[in-house]
């Protein structure tokens, strides 16, 4: 071979950056198995197919090895890591020993690709990558398929559609390989298959999905199948390309972990190598007799055969009843069936539920597994994850209500009338701050109105101000289990980021600490304003709400009464009077409170130039009203210490105003009775002197009914108006004190509480609707729902260290506030099934709409509008490295207190349940544990104060499921720790309730974490298929909360 020695010497002396690889290796020549000399350390430089051997980095090249017509043999042992280059010419082998295993492997790869054959393979590989880069709308492993409008345009008549069952996937198939050929003889393959689609109209390759990696075998049976949903434009003429890769380092397999169109990671084949590929037509698979194709895998140039692929058509709903042994292989860890993917919710929910569920759930991702049971039968598991439109719908409804409530409050403050200078200045300051806050709510609502696109808030957006009312990463996680010998079972968990005010931050803690500190400071405000307890301010808001609700109702019923009188209709008159009486009695009862009297007194003293009078002889309100006769007036007014006692204040004036409403109603009742008595021919006239009408000025029973009732109704309205004016002003004055005592902290705390509550409520509404749909045919559950209420159990995974302690404080208050939420089920009158929210802060009613067919399934009590109570409980156990710091160097009392408080709430619910419900309403599991025993066990675990005692969460979740409750799992972003917890819960249920084979527990767990819905959730949030853990963090995690190798690493959370 001719060469220029000077040129070679010059090439060897070039700067380091000019070489493909360089470094230290120990080198010697080998004949047979004997080394001619002891290996000597040399500085090696690789450029193209030339390997330069030098004594040191700065010396001249002592030898040049031409890397052609040779192959590489790798030797791995504990004592050395070496490579041997064998030459076809028969010259002695070249022995190269590296310092470490990674260094050896990298040299093996570099040397293997250095010859001309390797260069040709690289060229072919680059050609293939160029074609993949040109993929249209690069559809990724999250199975984001073409929009329906685009699909319709592609569905031209010349293509043959695939026959399928309605609402079922168009095509599903499983994959397995046989006799794969490795690049080196002794290499154990770690393979996966990438699936791409070529549409017949456009002839452009679209990457669609991938299987999982199967390790250590040349005959891999893949657990992950391929599913094309009903909306996907696939036809018999469509071609599918299958490409097999060998993965050398799972942690660097970036093509599988970063597949969204806007990813920034390189698409190069880092950590993997191309083995072979093949293509088939969909029609060939569908029409094949055995519904199976065996395809030959070839290299990219189409020459060399590297194995075969078996493609098996899978039909939804078919489940083998045979033994599991028929799919086992000789390779270890291959005893598991395939995982298929689908996007249809119909198989899980009753078809009648679809219209209303589709209004709530969006973008479902579904996986299907088959696992062996302990008796070697197959069970089928469907795992579904879906976004919900309620993530944005509920906060927007809530903010709209906040705006209306705050505008009403501001107007009530303005309507207080003339006040003394001190109080007037205070009012102006409060209104100015309130207007600023109102403007902020309006701006937030306007920004949310502009939002388009996905119906969930990603974990990366949790700090965005415009989205602070939106729950983080809210999804339904559902598992549907079909066992050979057990009844089908459905398990739902709502996953959501912990409700917390991330934009406002946690520098001073969360709501639990901030509210306690604020209340303590407000008690010491001096004489600037009057202190009212939180209970009294809540009562004031309730009175104002009742006034605003009842006054228009009473006025409406009074008008209906007059209308009935004008029509001379006795039955209608009776009904109108009944409704008027009921509402008026509720109205008067709303003011039977000491707070109204004390507030009137305080407001009176705040007027400029007020004059106080001594009261006349005290009155006893027992003289007042018809039905109001049983309502005893408070005999003694107990004033708050901070309200000055004015003995000269004329309290009798309020008594007179209050009593006039009852007297006016009595007059109306008496007149109606007289009119009906006169009208009845068969009736006998009773007592002429009716004592209940003693205060009425006129009692004419002849002539027109309307003329006789009209003045009495007008008097009732006037008396009611007088009461409303005084009561509204007095309660508005109470709210003025609350706001003035804590500006601006009071409004900022209200804002923070609204944000946290909005996030918590969106999740609760989603959970309630899903639970209602799944329990429509369970009469025991429906009876429990209206008799006892619904248990809502939250599992928290937050630490009690640093910012997460503040998040936990926010979350605890937000979940506690859900106790004040009531649900009501109504029949939908249109195709809009989204829930409607009414009410005010601390008292919301959620109206859930059901289609007529579903509404008819409900008990009469629920159909009549009975309000349904919620019983939320929170149990938290931190599991990460920050919790380790809190347990060793910090404080865990926050977690302990929350768990203890909520244990008492859970016990109260259980007591109520056992008192009102028969025991046969409990779900029947394979092993029915005693709930009392579970509660006692939970109590003992909470008292034990054991570090990272995750058994608390397992017990609480089990109790919740047995009590027909709704399950929630939360961490900071509902992405990483939540995924570990949810998958562990699912596999634990399969093991404990459905006889999952004990040898497959870890495999099932890894399968769900690696290829299931939760890794898709990670992809949706951070556009990377990696849980945001590192090795040091995982060392602090409990054993079963650690993800499988290759699924975690650096990722933004």
Active centre residues (catalytic): 971
Instruction: Determine the length of the chain.
Output: 1053
**Token pair 């031209």 is at which residue?**
156
Rg (CA), the chain: 38
The conformation of residue 629, written as its DSSP 8-state character, comes to: G
From the number of C-beta atoms within 10 Å of its C-beta (0-12, 13-18, 19+), residue 301 rates as exposed
- For residues 962 and 993, the answer to whether their CB atoms sit within 8 Å is no
* Residues in Cβ contact with 980 at an 8 Å cutoff, skipping those fewer than 6 apart: 1009, 1027, 1037, 1040, 1041, 1042, 1043
DSSP three-state, residue 883: helix
Say if CB 288 and CB 268 are below 8 A apart.
Answer: no
CA 183, 186, 190, 192 torsion: positive or negative? positive
> Do β-strands 868-876 and 790-796 pair in parallel, antiparallel, or remain unpaired?
parallel
- Evaluate whether 871 touches 795 at the Cβ level (below 8 Å): no
Contact in structure between 214 and 221 (CB atoms under 8 Å): yes
Give the helix/strand (H/E) hosting 521.
helix 511-522
DSSP at 589:
H
Q: Is there a contact between 97 and 79 (Cβ–Cβ < 8 Å)?
A: no
Q: Which two tokens stand for residue 446?
A: 């306007």
Taking every pair of Cα atoms in the chain, the longest distance, rounded to a whole number of angstroms, is: 139
CB contact burial 145-184 (16+ within 10 A = b; e otherwise): bbeeeeeeeeeeeebeebebeeebbbbbbbbbbeebebbe
Closest CA to 396 of 499, 453, 470: 470
- Burial class of residue 630 in the structure, from the number of CB atoms within 10 Å of its CB (0-12 exposed, 13-18 middle, 19+ buried): exposed
Beta strand 868-876 pairing with 361-372: unpaired
Instruction: Please report where in the chains the tokens 């040049």 appear, as a residue.
Output: 64
3-state secondary structure at position 272: strand
C-alpha distances out from residue 134 to 137, 402, 647, 705, 901, Å: 9, 50, 89, 85, 59
**Residue whose C-alpha is closest to residue 599's, from 416, 410, 839:** 416
386 CB-side CA count, 13 A: 25
91/77 Cα distance (integer angstroms): 26
> Quick one: which of 216, 175, 220, 221 has its CA closest to 195?
175
Q: Which of 191, 167, 170 is nearest to 179 (CA)?
A: 191
Q: CA-CA distance, 672 to 558, in Å (whole number)?
A: 12
Cβ-count burial 904-934 (b if 16+ within 10 Å, e if not): ebbeebbeebeeebeeebbeebeeeeebeeb
**From the centroid of its chain, how far is CA 329?**
40
Contact 698, 668 (CB under 8 A): no
Range 79-101 burial, b when 16+ CB lie within 10 A, else e: eebbbebebeeeeebbbbbbeee
193, two tokens:
């298959």
CA 16 to chain centre: 52
């Amino acid at each position: 071979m001719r060469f220029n020695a000077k040129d070679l010497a010059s090439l060897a002396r070039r700067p380091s950056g000019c070489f493909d690889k360089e470094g230290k290796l120990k080198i010697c020549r080998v004949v047979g198995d004997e080394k001619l000399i002891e290996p000597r350390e040399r500085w090696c430089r690789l450029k193209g197919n030339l390997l330069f051997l030098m004594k040191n980095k700065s010396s001249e090249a002592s030898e040049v090895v031409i890397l052609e017509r040779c192959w590489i043999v790798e030797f791995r042992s504990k004592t050395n890591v070496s490579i041997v280059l064998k030459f076809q010419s028969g010259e002695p082998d070249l022995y190269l020993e590296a310092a470490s295993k990674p260094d050896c492997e990298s040299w093996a790869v570099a040397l293997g690709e250095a010859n001309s054959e390797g260069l040709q393979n690289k060229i072919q590989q680059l050609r293939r990558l160029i074609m993949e880069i040109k993929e249209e709308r690069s559809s990724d492993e999250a199975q984001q398929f073409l929009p329906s409008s685009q699909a319709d345009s592609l569905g031209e008549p010349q293509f043959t559609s695939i026959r399928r069952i309605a609402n079922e996937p168009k095509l599903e198939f499983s994959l397995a390989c046989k006799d794969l050929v490795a690049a080196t003889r002794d290499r154990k393959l770690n393979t996966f298959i990438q699936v791409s689609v070529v549409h017949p109209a456009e002839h452009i390759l679209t990457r669609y999905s991938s299987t999982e990696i199967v390790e250590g075998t040349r005959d891999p049976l893949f657990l992950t199948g391929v599913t094309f949903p009903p909306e996907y434009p696939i036809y018999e003429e469509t071609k599918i390309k299958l490409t097999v890769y060998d993965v050398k380092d799972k942690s660097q397999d970036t093509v599988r972990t970063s597949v969204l169109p806007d990813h920034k990671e390189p698409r190069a084949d880092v950590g993997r190598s191309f083995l072979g590929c093949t293509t088939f037509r969909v029609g060939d698979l569908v029409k094949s007799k055995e519904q199976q194709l065996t395809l030959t895998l070839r290299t990219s140039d189409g020459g060399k055969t590297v194995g075969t692929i078996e493609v098996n058509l899978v039909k939804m709903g078919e489940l083998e009843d045979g033994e599991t042994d028929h799919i086992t292989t000789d390779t270890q860890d291959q005893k598991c069936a395939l995982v298929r993917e689908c996007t249809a919710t119909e198989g899980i929910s009753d078809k009648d539920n679809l219209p209303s569920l589709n209004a709530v759930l969006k973008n479902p991702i579904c996986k299907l597994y088959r696992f062996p049971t302990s008796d070697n039968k197959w069970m089928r598991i469907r795992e579904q994850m879906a976004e919900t439109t309620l993530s944005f719908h509920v906060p927007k409804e809530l903010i709209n209500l906040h705006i209306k409530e705050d505008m009403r409050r501001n107007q009530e403050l303005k309507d207080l009338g003339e006040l003394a200078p001190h109080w007037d200045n205070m009012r102006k300051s409060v209104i100015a701050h309130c207007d600023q806050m109102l403007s902020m709510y309006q701006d937030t609502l306007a920004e949310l109105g502009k939002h388009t696109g996905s119906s969930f808030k990603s974990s990366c957006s949790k700090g965005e101000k415009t989205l602070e009312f939106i729950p983080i990463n809210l999804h339904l996680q559902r598992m549907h289990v079909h066992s050979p010998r057990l009844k089908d079972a459905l398990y739902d968990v709502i996953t959501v980021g912990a409700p917390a005010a991330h934009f406002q931050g946690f520098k001073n803690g969360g709501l639990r600490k901030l509210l306690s500190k604020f209340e303590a400071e407000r008690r010491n405000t001096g004489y600037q304003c009057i202190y009212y307890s939180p209970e009294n301010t809540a009562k004031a808001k309730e009175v104002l709400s009742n006034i605003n609700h009842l006054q228009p109702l009473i006025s409406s019923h009074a008008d209906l009464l007059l209308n009935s009188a004008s029509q001379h209709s006795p039955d209608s008159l009776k009904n109108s009077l009944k409704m008027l009486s009921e509402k008026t009695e509720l109205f008067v009862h709303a003011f039977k409170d000491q707070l109204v009297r004390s507030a009137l007194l305080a407001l009176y003293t705040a007027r400029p130039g007020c004059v106080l009078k001594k009261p006349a002889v005290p009155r006893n309100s027992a003289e007042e009203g018809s039905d109001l006769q049983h309502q005893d007036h408070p005999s003694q007014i107990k004033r708050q210490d901070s309200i000055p006692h004015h003995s000269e204040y004329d309290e009798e004036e309020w008594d007179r105003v209050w009593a006039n409403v009852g007297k006016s109603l009595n007059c109306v009742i008496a007149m109606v009775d007289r009119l009906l008595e006169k009208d009845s021919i068969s009736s006998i006239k009773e007592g002429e002197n009716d004592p209940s009408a003693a205060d009425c000025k006129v009692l004419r029973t002849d002539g027109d009914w309307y003329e006789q009732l009209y003045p009495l109704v007008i008097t009732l309205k006037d008396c009611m108006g007088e009461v409303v004016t005084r009561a509204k002003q007095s309660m508005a004055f109470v709210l003025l004190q609350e706001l003035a005592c804590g500006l601006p902290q009071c409004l900022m705390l209200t804002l923070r509480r609204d944000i946290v509550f909005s996030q918590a409520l969106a999740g609760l509404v989603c959970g309630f609707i899903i639970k209602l749909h799944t329990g429509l045919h369970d009469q025991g559950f429906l009876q429990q729902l209206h008799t006892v209420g619904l248990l809502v159990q939250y599992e928290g995974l937050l630490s009690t260290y640093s910012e997460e302690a503040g998040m936990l404080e926010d979350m605890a208050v937000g979940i506690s506030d859900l106790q004040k939420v009531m649900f009501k089920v109504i029949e939908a009158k249109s195709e809009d099934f989204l829930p409607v929210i009414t009410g005010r802060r601390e008292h919301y009613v959620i109206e859930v709409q059901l289609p007529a067919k579903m509404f008819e399934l409900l008990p009469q009590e629920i159909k009549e509008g009975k309000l349904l109570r919620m019983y939320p409980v929170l149990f938290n156990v931190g599991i990460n490295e920050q919790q380790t710091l809190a347990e060793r160097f910090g404080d865990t009392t926050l977690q302990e207190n929350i768990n203890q408080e909520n244990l008492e709430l859970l016990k109260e619910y259980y007591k109520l349940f056992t008192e009102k419900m028969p025991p046969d309403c409990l779900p029947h599991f394979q092993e029915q544990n005693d709930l009392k025993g579970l509660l006692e066990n939970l109590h003992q675990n909470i008292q034990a104060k054991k570090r990272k005692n995750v058994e608390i969460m397992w017990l609480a979740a089990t109790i919740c499921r047995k009590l027909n409750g709704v399950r929630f799992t939360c961490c900071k972003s509902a992405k990483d720790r939540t995924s570990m917890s949810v998958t562990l819960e699912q596999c634990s249920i399969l093991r404990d309730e459905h006889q999952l084979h004990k040898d497959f527990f870890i495999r099932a767990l890894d399968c769900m974490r690696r290829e299931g819905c939760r890794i898709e959730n990670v992809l949706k949030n951070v556009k990377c298929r990696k849980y945001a853990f590192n090795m040091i963090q995982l060392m602090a995690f409990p054993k079963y909360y650690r993800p499988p190798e290759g699924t975690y690493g650096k990722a933004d959370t």
